[in-house]
Amino acid sequence: MSKPGIKVFAPATVANVAVGFDILGFAIDKPGDEIIVRKGKQPGLIITEIQGAEGKLSTDIMKNTAGFAAFKLLEALGETKRPIEMEIHKKMPFGSGLGSSAASAVAGVFAVNELLKTGLSKQDILSYAVAGEQIADGAWHADNVAPSLLGGMILIRDSETLDFKKLHIPEGLFAVVIYPHIQVLTKDSRQLLTETVNFKKVVTQTGNLGAFVAGMFTSDFGLIKRSLQDVLVEPQRAHLIPMFYEMKEAALNAGALGFSISGAGPSMFALCDNNLTAENIIIEAQKIYKTSKIKIDTYLSKINHEGAVRF
């Protein structure tokens, strides 16, 4: 007999978006993670089952992003002894650059918040989700967590205080995500980044970020296209991704507004001003990676405005 409970979904995300390292990200429709929570039989939060993780995730709530995020909420509510059972259904790969750990953290805290009917808003529980993801990569940042929870494309003004702003999404904007089946862990990818940067490149990147935000709010696709260029992080990480520059050239030639690395990689993304361009980029990706014998998954999506949802 099936047991009553609550099932939620938290979507994958594209972080950095070329010009906003650690401060910019958007949600896509799929893939994502699902979590089921229900009233438990013994005191405290317990992870009873994890599917799709190939044994790579701990059921210890203090070592699991979903469990820890939910625990931080329960701790704030003074409800750590509340009997709750959690099932985690991983529907996205590890080390993909699609915010896998963030989606789990978001789904975990969102599910428990829904189960307890706390009345807290998504924004109210954002910090607990960020705390959950932090145990996966050791960094306090919300460029994956915030869009996965809240939906849309989000600019984080200040990570410490989680001061953020949702950007306007122009009509007709589509995202293509290409995930080659290799693994790049965020911790490893971060270690590649230099601690010093060229001042001239900082000025260029700052101009690109400001112009990109302006282009989004004014639906100026020309400005968005001119702005989507990462001169700081992409050059340091591109070598981790087979065929990256070939794929980037093909996407831009097909009409993409911009093309870069999704999060820490190896996933890549393109933004497009119409669906046909997006479809053509997927065709090009399939051609390129067929020759390299690397399996890929592709996703075509509008920007997901909903974020985490209850089924």
- Out of 85, 133, 234, 284, which one is annotated catalytic? 133
Which of 135-139, 172-176, 306-310 has the lowest average pLDDT?
A: 135-139
Which residue in the block uniquely carries the two structure tokens 């004014």?
Answer: 218
| The pLDDT of residue 232 | 95
Q: Do domains 6-168+306-310 and 174-302 have the same CATH topology?
A: no
Q: What is the mean pLDDT of residues 97-122?
A: 97
Query: In the chain, what are the domain boundaries?
Result: 6-168+306-310, 174-302
Q: What is the pLDDT of residues 157-174, one digit of tens each?
A: 999 999 999 999 999 999
pTM exceeding the 0.75 threshold for the entire prediction? yes
In CATH, which superfamily holds the domain spanning 174-302? GHMP kinase, C-terminal domain (3.30.70.890)
User: What CATH number belongs to 6-168+306-310?
Assistant: 3.30.230.10
Q: Which of 36-50, 61-75, 130-144 has the lowest mean pLDDT?
A: 130-144
Quick check: is 13 catalytic? no
Q: Is the pLDDT of residue 1 over 60?
A: no
- Decide if 49 is catalytic: no
**Residue 27 bridge partners (DSSP):** 13
How sure is the predictor about 187, in pLDDT bands with cuts at 50, 70 and 90?
A: low
Q: Which residues contact 24 (CB under 8 A, 6 or more apart)?
A: 15, 16, 17, 143, 153, 154, 155, 156, 209
Query: Is residue 175 pLDDT above 60, yes or no?
Result: yes
Q: Quote the mean pLDDT of the chain.
A: 95
Q: Which residues contact 62 (CB under 8 A, 6 or more apart)?
A: 68, 71, 135
Does the structure show a pLDDT above 80 at 190? no
Instruction: Tell me whether residue 53 is exposed, middle or buried, using C-beta atoms within 10 angstroms of its C-beta: 0 to 12, 13 to 18, 19 or more.
Output: middle
Over range 60-68, report the average pLDDT. 97
Q: Which of 13, 186, 277, 284 is catalytic?
A: 186
- Residue 303 carries which side chain, given as an amino acid letter? I
